[in-house]
Homo-oligomer: A and B are copies of this chain.
């Protein structure tokens, strides 16, 4: 059962965190219709804060709400997942460009260190899928915040990533190409370190486009039925 990760400041925040993680991890399955009272007993909440959290989640597109009819978890089709990647492509391209212009040298060093640890994890090849997925998330997370573009980071971290991660958990790993992805990550960081924003944008766009094509291929193969 999903709990509030850290001591949330308010009950509504707690509810929001719980529900979000529950949705992302698949504990609450897509398309599942959920009653308010059921959720209350499940997460030890009362309906006031819960409703506030539901509103926030609806506004973020993680669930849909019909008046007087109830709440159900959003179910994203394969086509919509691919559309998400198209958005990621342009937005993270921008993030990479701005990160190249604005990240501090310390942040870049940390980013490189992150990749080093990812490399070790892949070499050890144990639970590589999970770590790869998490590592990938970590990498993109850092670049989003490194862009110093508050709204861009908010949209990426607050909207898109949660929807993508929702599928990551279900697919175990969407990438399945750890070495290749790592190499692409390395190149992007290199461009950022050289403060070459244009190249960083290009490489990031190509990186995400490759991931999208990979998913597309899996869908065609029937590995991925959504």
Contact = CB atoms under 8 A, between A and B. Distances in A.
Main secondary structure of the interface of A (DSSP, over half): helix
A62 B105 CA distance: 32
A149 interface: yes
Contact of A152 (B9, B56, B87, B93): B87
A157 to B, nearest CB: 12
Interface string A38-60: 00000000001001110110111
User: How large, as a class, is the contact surface on chain A?
Assistant: 35 or more
A180 interface: no
A34 to B, nearest CB: 17
Of A10, A151, A154, A158, which is in contact with the most chain B CB atoms at under 10 Å from its CB?
A151
Nearest to A47: B48
Given A10-B67, A52-B52, A55-B12, A83 B149 contact: yes
A98 to B, nearest CB: 7
Contacts of A152: 83, 86-87
Interface string A59-74: 1110000010000000
Contact of A56 (B13, B58, B67, B84): B58
Contacts of A87: 91, 94, 149, 151-152, 155
Interface string A1-20: 00000000110110000000
